[in-house]
Amino acid sequence: MSNLLIDLKDYLLVYASDAVTTYGVDIFIDNMPDEPDNLTALKEYPGEVDFISNAVNRSIQIKVRNIDYMTAQNKINSIYNSLYSPESDIRIIDFTTTRWGIVAARNYPYLVNRDDKNRCIFVFNLGIVTTGDS
């Protein structure tokens, strides 16, 4: 069974290992639990289907929360750089042997807010043209 967020999480565990290390410990899917203080969360929000090619333009938001501003900023930048190539507007990534994706950043990482525990939350959004989940 293929799931884009799981494939993306697995990719980041390899190619952004300085930012994320263990699923359920410092990287979460569709969940940003109150603990631990320092984590990364992946969430999909509505995209659109291309009915001609059967590809889907999917929308992904990546959040990093950390008690330290610079650590949060460094982690989100590491994740951003592992997914987006500044040399071109898009990047083609083979997330798995069966999942390809054309990745385009929709914005540069930024501090969205500090939560009620004064933890820094950085965020950026991606568009990924890929197949649907099976």
Cβ-count burial of 30 within 10 angstroms (0-12 exposed, 13-18 middle, 19+ buried)? Answer: exposed
* Structural domain total, the chain: 1
Domain span holding position 65: 4-130
pLDDT at 118: 97
**pTM passes above 0.85:** yes
Q: What span, in angstroms and rounded, lies between the C-alpha atoms of 66 and 50?
A: 37
Which CATH number goes with the domain that contains 58? 3.30.2000.10
Q: What span, in angstroms and rounded, lies between the C-alpha atoms of 133 and 98?
A: 11
pLDDT at 79: 97
Query: Residue 111 half-sphere exposure, CB side, CA atoms within 13 Å?
Result: 15
Q: Write the pLDDT tens digit of every residue in 11-59.
A: 999 999 999 999 999 999 999 999 999 999 999 998 776 666 677 889 9
Tell me the average pLDDT of the chain: 91
